[in-house]
Amino acid sequence: MKKIEILSPCGGPESLDAALRAGADAVYLGAKKFSARHNAVNFSDVELKAAVSECHRHGVLVYLALNTLIRDSELRDAAELLELACKIGVDGIIIQDMAVWSMARTACPDMPLHASTQMALHTAEGVDEARALGFCRAVAARELSLKEIKNLCGRGIEIEVFAHGALCMCVSGRCYLSAMIGGRSANRGLCAGACRLPFSAEGKPADKYALSLKDMSYCGHVGELVDAGVSSLKIEGRMKRPEYVAAATNALKSARDGEEYDAETLRAAFSRSGFTDGYLTERLGSEMFGARLKEDVEAMSEALPRLRKLYEKPEKRFALDLKFVARRGENISLSASDGVFSAEIFEEPAEAAVNKSTTAEEIAEQLKKLGGTLYEAGDVSADIGSGLFVPLSKINAMRRSAVEKLDSLRVERLSRPKKFDGKGLMFDFPMLLIKKHPELEIRVEKTEQLAGLPLQGERVIIPLYLAEEYVGAGYSPKNASLELPRFEADEKRTAERLKFAKTLGFEMVECSDLGHIALAKKFGFKPNGWSGLNITNSLAAREYFTLGLEHLTLSPELKAAQCSMIACPSRTGAIVYGRLPLMITRNCPISAEIGCKRCSKKLTDRTGTEFPVLCHREEGYYELLNSRPIWLADRISGFNLDFGVLYFTDEPPKEVERVYKAYREGREAGAVFTRGLYFRGVD
């Protein structure tokens, strides 16, 4: 089987030790800031430097997860972390925010950049665009089938695939559930795991977990992933125990090397009612769902002693060739080589034997004692003149010196600093002092929602599949923008629809990921940035402007004041009304629990709060909406933005008309509502 990288999670120094001893080829870890697992132990600057050296001593690569969304006030700190990564020789940076991409491209162009799964890359167009932007690796969305993964490979960019660990119900980078109900942002590394709480499609739940999936495990599919062209198999789990890291690393490594792995021990290390390979094998449905049960916890407790044995001793990573020479009157020499690096150790000449001469066999046997090191004996030879004596302690000391020198050479080579020049970086962005009152834009789920609106030239946003119906209803396509599917189940179909929409006269497209931007440009549309791009700072906004996006809907996780401070040449706006989509899912939680025929069109949490679910089965995904609509008609003057989007989903036409008029008149809400995160903020 072709060599494929086993990439292990390290939430702290203990997990790092477990990953290295269990045989990881590469690790990913986070610093104290800007890590998507903010609540892991993570690494201080000093610990990070030590971790890089230790990994490189093992011949293991280190990727730094700088993969959260950042704000204008944090740009300098992010740049300082980039500089540190360059200084200590990190092997790659995992990125979500385009601001980090911009700073890395400007200040350290030699640093390899990985597009995080938080960027929701899941199509060939998205991967191609990432490659064009200079990313050397794309971390594919976890929801992909083997066929879809194959379609991403062989495109001039490495593809990294999650092969073991927790599955989020929502597509990564698209989840706002934790932020909206708990004030903790998954995009900022503080996910509260709200999806693991009770939810049900049948009313207030008792023991139903409609948003909780089993953990994934592709150990039985490693050969297929290798054949598909995948470069790296990633293990989720920076919040997990070292024993889990060792078990998952050991299992995937064994599977890659064609050896048996202990499936029961792997399950005991951590699972939620077992494992699933449903996305990879295209077997979605109820079998993919599971929660962490008492039995799972007990199994882990019982398994801890045997799990720790998986990383009791260091992994033997290098074959060490040793040649010992001792001749009368000449310095003793020991030549050492691991196949890449070589070292020579010299000692004073051997003494004449008084009682018993040292034999070549005794020396060779002593040299082979490499326990506790990263080396196993390769070609070991000893040549000693007759009548000479060499103390065993001297042989041991020379062997240790040779090993230390080889380790040092490896660390020196692999930890070479990368050039960092921050002179061209921008941290302050001039604001226009002109006070702007947001113009209204209308987003609808159905064409009939527009029927009662006395539109006054507002821009209208409609799903792509409504293009023909929209024009047929007598609406002009010139001021309408087409919203592309939030998750592309069929990129070729989307391309055909775009080509047809072009013939109808549409000119604009709403883009939620890099693939959308590429598609829009390919077919001659003007790309606009939709909220799925998660723009939270001025630098990212400016970079999207350079990519041709002159109209940007900002992240709903920004406060009103933060939205107003985004400074870039593009028109900027925010969603100011509507049931915000909290999750984009590829697996329908309602169908999995009660079936499509009994569809309740909603989930209920443990408090009795109801969350509507929109079915886009034909498009290949589903949306969990917030329980309450955002209402800002009476507060919209507090936003210094170019536009505000009225985001209509399941509202009937009469309610759409009422809301539209209320926003025109600046009225207070007449029903239950939320201000979203615009005034309370998010961690």
233-243 pLDDT per residue, tens: 999 999 999 99
Q: Is residue 1 over pLDDT 60? A: no
Tell whether 540 is covered by a domain.
no
What share of the chain in percent tops pLDDT 90? Answer: 90
Tell whether 492 is covered by a domain.
no
Q: pLDDT band at residue 430, thresholds of 50, 70 and 90?
A: confident
Q: Which of 414, 434, 469 is the last residue of a domain?
A: 414
At residue 207, the pLDDT reads 83
Residue corresponding to tokens 């309610």: 655
pLDDT tens sequence across 80-116 = 999 999 999 999 999 999 999 999 999 999 999 999 9
Q: How many domains does the chain have?
A: 2
Same domain, 256 and 378: no
Rounded-to-integer distance, Cα 562 and Cα 485, Å:
28
Tell whether 514 is covered by a domain.
no
At residue 452, the pLDDT reads 87
At residue 40, the pLDDT reads 86
Q: Is residue 433 over pLDDT 80? A: no
pLDDT tens sequence across 559-601 = 999 999 999 999 999 999 999 999 999 999 999 999 999 999 9
Which residues does 140 contact at the CB level (< 8 Å), separation at least 6? 117, 121, 122, 149, 152, 159, 160, 161, 162
Same domain, 234 and 347: no
- Mean pLDDT, residues 316-339: 97
At residue 216, the pLDDT reads 97
pLDDT tens sequence across 157-178 = 999 999 999 999 999 999 999 9
Task: Give me the amino acid identity at 84.
Answer: L
Angle, helix 392-414 to helix 45-57, in steps of 10 degrees: 120
517-556 in b/e burial notation, b at 16+ Cβ within 10 A? bbbbbeeebebbbbbbbbbbbbbbbbbbbebebebbbbbb
Q: What is the DSSP string of 82-122?
A: HHHHHHHT-SEEEE--HHHHHHHHHH-TTS-EEE-GGG---
Q: pLDDT band at residue 74, thresholds of 50, 70 and 90?
A: very high
Tell whether 289 is covered by a domain.
no
Contact between 265 and 307 under an 8 Å Cβ cutoff? The reply is yes
Tell whether 64 is covered by a domain.
yes
Same domain, 256 and 324: no
Residue 218's SS3 state is coil
- Mean pLDDT, residues 141-154: 97
Angle at 457 between CA 452 and CA 463, to 5 degrees: 70
Q: pLDDT band at residue 434, thresholds of 50, 70 and 90?
A: low
Cα 235 from chain centroid (whole Å): 11
Same domain, 229 and 331: no
Rounded-to-integer distance, Cα 596 and Cα 617, Å:
11
At residue 68, the pLDDT reads 96
At residue 432, the pLDDT reads 66
At residue 489, the pLDDT reads 87
pLDDT tens sequence across 523-536 = 999 999 999 999 99
The answer to which of 92-106, 277-291, 297-311, 335-349 has the lowest mean pLDDT is: 297-311
Q: Which of 374, 389, 414 is the last residue of a domain?
A: 414
Q: Is residue 231 over pLDDT 60? A: yes
pLDDT tens sequence across 247-288 = 999 999 999 999 999 898 999 999 998 999 999 999 999 999
Tell whether 102 is covered by a domain.
yes
Q: Is residue 553 over pLDDT 80? A: yes
What share of the chain in percent tops pLDDT 70? Answer: 99
Torsion of CA 562, 564, 566, 570, to 10 degrees: 150
pLDDT tens sequence across 347-363 = 999 999 998 999 999 99
Q: pLDDT band at residue 2, thresholds of 50, 70 and 90?
A: low
Same domain, 14 and 153: yes
Q: Is residue 460 over pLDDT 90? A: yes
Q: pLDDT band at residue 206, thresholds of 50, 70 and 90?
A: confident
Predicted TM-score (pTM) of the model is 0.95
Q: Is residue 604 over pLDDT 90? A: yes
Tell whether 39 is covered by a domain.
yes
- Mean pLDDT, residues 652-671: 94
Contact between 161 and 227 under an 8 Å Cβ cutoff? The reply is no
Same domain, 94 and 15: yes
Same domain, 374 and 236: no
Same domain, 326 and 398: yes
Q: Which of 389, 414, 439 is the last residue of a domain?
A: 414
422: its two tokens: 């921050």
As a whole number, the mean pLDDT across the chain is 95
Same domain, 120 and 250: yes
Same domain, 22 and 150: yes
Q: pLDDT band at residue 418, thresholds of 50, 70 and 90?
A: very high
Contact between 632 and 559 under an 8 Å Cβ cutoff? The reply is no
What CATH number does the domain containing 66 carry? 3.20.20.70
At residue 293, the pLDDT reads 86
Same domain, 225 and 146: yes
Q: Which domain holds residue 38?
A: 5-165+217-260
Q: pLDDT band at residue 67, thresholds of 50, 70 and 90?
A: very high
Q: pLDDT band at residue 436, thresholds of 50, 70 and 90?
A: confident
β-pairing, 113-115 vs 215-217, is unpaired
Residue 418's SS3 state is coil
Tell whether 147 is covered by a domain.
yes
- Mean pLDDT, residues 297-312: 90
Beta bridge partners of 113: 93
Rounded-to-integer distance, Cα 303 and Cα 291, Å:
19
Among residues 588, 594, 650, 591, the alpha carbon closest in space to that of 621 is found at 588
Q: Which phi and psi (to 5°) does residue 225 adopt?
A: -70, -35
Residue 271's SS3 state is coil
Same domain, 248 and 325: no
